[in-house]
Structure 1
């Protein structure tokens, strides 16, 4: 079900930019060497960025084979490879800030940016890990900024088990690190409740998809 985008009352007048990281980031240790960092409201003026990206990004609707049929991907997509210009300067600022904070721990910079546009509650992503490439056999990080209406991100151990829920939107940052991509799965579930649009920006190192 679709709901109109509602801007955050706290962010209506905020200037677009990234805040500090450092000790504002809260880390949760998960099982099997995985961890999760959360920094609520890291991107100020996030509603402005949502509106810019919704209009400026050349969104693509894709179809993928699933078992014996081809189905619509239930979200719009755009991938920015290492040599592509990002769609807004604040995303360059965000990537530089992430590199400064995580560079020593990660051992390399973030290189690519994948954008997903969840238009309403019918758009989703199924349980998965980013295991195409090095994420399937190496520890790595995926940093996600959420703008627009909050949607729940669920995480669970690979193979099943109790899930963890984080509601993300309005400039929140979440970073999945360590073994998270190969030992845990994450998903954005469908919902029948009214859900406004959300855009996620996923920064990844080279060779991680």
Structure 2
């Protein structure tokens, strides 16, 4: 069921910008994986959601699943290294993350993938970003969420206790260490009446 997007600030307009990254909180996970979380890193997230929802050239894709092609249950957009991002704050966010994690990551974040979850029926199945170097080496994927919160669930690939993180309204999560190789993550479907959400995923070169 689709419901209208409800801003978190009761109609108060907040300037689109970024808070300092020094409030990041790290949670170690099994097998050398970890996540960093910073709620509300991006200010004016509700305004940015409106811009992205209307201005991004969203694509509805279909993918082969066994013997039939099915609709991907979300809208997608991808920005390569040389593509202009759909709002200047995303360039600033990618640069700020690259500077903050320069020593650990050893390279900048290069690409941006956007997902538009229109309601609770939209989702992404369990997976790791293991196309390319993420299947063999530690790396990082940083996700900024705008719009209504949705759960990002993580679980170890070999079984065990998982983690659920509710993200929206400018929240940041960074998955690092072995997370893409040894853990899977998903945005599950929900029967609850939830509004739309856009996630922006920043990745280094060769990770997808």
Shorter-chain TM range is over 0.9
With structure 1 as the length reference, what TM-score do the two structures score?
0.97
The aligned residue for residue 8 of structure 1 is 8
Q: Take 1:161 and 1:193, find their aligned partners in 2: how far apart are those partners?
A: 26
State the shift of 1:122 in Å: 0.3
Q: How does 1:1-209 map to 2 (within 5 A)?
A: 1-9=1-9, 12-22=12-22, 24-209=23-208
Unaligned runs of 5+ in 2: none
Q: Take 1:93 and 1:10, find their aligned partners in 2: how far apart are those partners?
A: 26
Unaligned runs of 5+ in 1: none
State the shift of 1:99 in Å: 1.1
Q: Take 1:65 and 1:151, find their aligned partners in 2: how far apart are those partners?
A: 26
CA gap 1:109/1:184 in 2 versus in 1, 3 angstroms = same
Number of residues paired by the alignment?
208
Q: Take 2:174 and 2:11, find their aligned partners in 1: how far apart are those partners?
A: 22
Q: Take 1:188 and 1:11, find their aligned partners in 2: how far apart are those partners?
A: 28
In angstroms, what is the RMSD of aligned CA positions?
A: 1.0
Q: Take 1:5 and 1:161, find their aligned partners in 2: how far apart are those partners?
A: 35
With structure 2 as the length reference, what TM-score do the two structures score?
0.98
